[in-house]
Amino acid sequence: MLGRKQEFNLKLNQIVDSALLALSFWLAYALRSAAARWFGWLPIPEIDRFYWQMMVLVPFTPIVLESLGFYSHVLQKSPLRSFSQAVKGLVIMVLVTSVISTFGRQTAESRAVLLIFPFLAVPAILIREAIASVRLRQLVQSGVLRERVVFAGPPADVDKLIESLPSGQIAELEIVAKIDISTAPVEDLVILLHEKNVERVIFAAGRVHLSRIEEAVNACELEGVEAWLWAGFIQTSIARPTFDAMGGKPMLVFRCTPEISWALFVKAMIDKAGATLMLVAALPFLIFAWIGIRLASPGPAIFSQMRCGRHGKPFRMFKFRTMCTDAEQKKAQLMQHNQMSGPVFKVAHDPRIFPFGRFLRKYSIDELPQLINILTGDMSLVGPRPLPVDEVANIADAAHRRRLSVKPGLTCLWQISGRNEIKDFDQWVALDLEYIDNWSLWLDIRILLRTVPAVIMGSGAR
């Protein structure tokens, strides 16, 4: 299925899943209520107290599942893949709702409903998907869903495009003809549209003059037949092509960062809620660090420095001070001992760090003030670590600047991969680009979970 059909089926599946999620939540509530009667557990509030949780889980869970690819390539996916995507989506939403519940001071008895919910919801949506995939496979095999299409373009380009399409996609197409529009007149394409009852023309015309493509597309427009143009004539290794509009004009957009989506909206919500919770939970550590610094070293407890944010926009980043107050002046004297390649400055056993500051660094307590930067929107919980403005200015490889294409974070792949044990700036950047190119909410959660033991153990910190 392509285009509007695919979009319609996606929305239909999401509506059905929303209904199943609502039913699963109601059953989770009923089971928890029954347990109170059967086993003498503490009773829980009436179900109307849980409606707000349903308003979060029911509409937003299908959106998160879509961002994880749950509704894509249904015929090609393995059951294990579907199970993994469903579990990830439900875990993300239950975590988000649990955070909100904590702010709402929900009792432990009430939160038990959230723990039961995914054990009912995951099987429900997987059964729905299994039924839908069986039905879809039957319709494809019977030819009901197969679309009659014409591929237009030089034979080499057409064959390359067809070979690149997944087998499941090809199974949904009935290729009634191929035509080389670089040599054949547009009238031949129009005759094919009439004779073959074509529903769609797919242009693979990388080496065809744009005026020829325009003429062929206009012919399809007059016939009321959809025309699809393969953007393979522009070769990019990273950027993903999408379509958008500006002032009513169609635009072919190449993005190499995550596209604006509900998943990014959820990420922003997690940033705000998570930073607020962490600030409250870390209050004793903040007081401890503040007092310890003032006793251990003369000068302010908070150190601020201009760092580069998204797209290189400078912002003031906050940390607990772990060095002597004239550390910046002494940096030039230590430059010959720099252990990092590239523009970054790192020195083992840096003499500017006072003993208590070294302790704060070992357990990343010095980074806690950056939670304020997250609340102000300059940083995220997860993202490439922000570099000082002067270090970014010294980046020689233009490809390294792509790490600035997303909002910087409190933790990242580099942070959980040994931190200061990595001395090659290229390796550091490679980890950041790996994060950007493979970003998902689930990846953020995995990094956050792995950060906890890394911080507790002080892995790679100095």
Residue 13 CB burial class (10 angstroms; 0-12, 13-18, ≥19): buried
DSSP string, 378-427: S-EEESPPPPBHHHHHT---GGGGGGGGS--EEE-TTTTTTGGG---HHH
Is pLDDT above 70 for 236?
no
Fold of 147-235: Rossmann fold (3.40.50)
Query: With bands split at pLDDT 50, 70 and 90, how would you rate the model's confidence at 188?
Result: very high
Q: Domain residues of the chain, as ranges?
A: 3-142, 147-235, 262-457
All residues at 6 or more sequence positions from 363 whose CB lies less than 8 Å from its CB, including other chains:
455, 456, 458, 461
Residue 269 CB burial class (10 angstroms; 0-12, 13-18, ≥19): middle
Centroid of chain to Cα 211:
38
Average pLDDT over residues 382-392: 91
Instruction: Check: CB of residue 311 under 8 Å from CB of residue 388.
Output: no
C-alpha span between 410 and 364 (Å, rounded): 10
C-alpha span between 326 and 344 (Å, rounded): 19
Question: For 48-75, how does the pLDDT look when each residue is reduced to its tens digit (9 = 90+)?
Answer: 777 788 888 888 899 888 888 888 777 7
pLDDT of residue 295: 92
pLDDT of residue 338: 77
Query: With bands split at pLDDT 50, 70 and 90, how would you rate the model's confidence at 241?
Result: low
Q: What is the mean pLDDT of the chain?
A: 83
Nearest to 43 by CA among 52, 34, 51: 34
Centroid of chain to Cα 110:
30
Taking the CA atoms of residue 279, residue 284, residue 289 and residue 292 in that order, the dihedral angle to the nearest 10 degrees is 160
Q: What is the pTM of this model?
A: 0.64
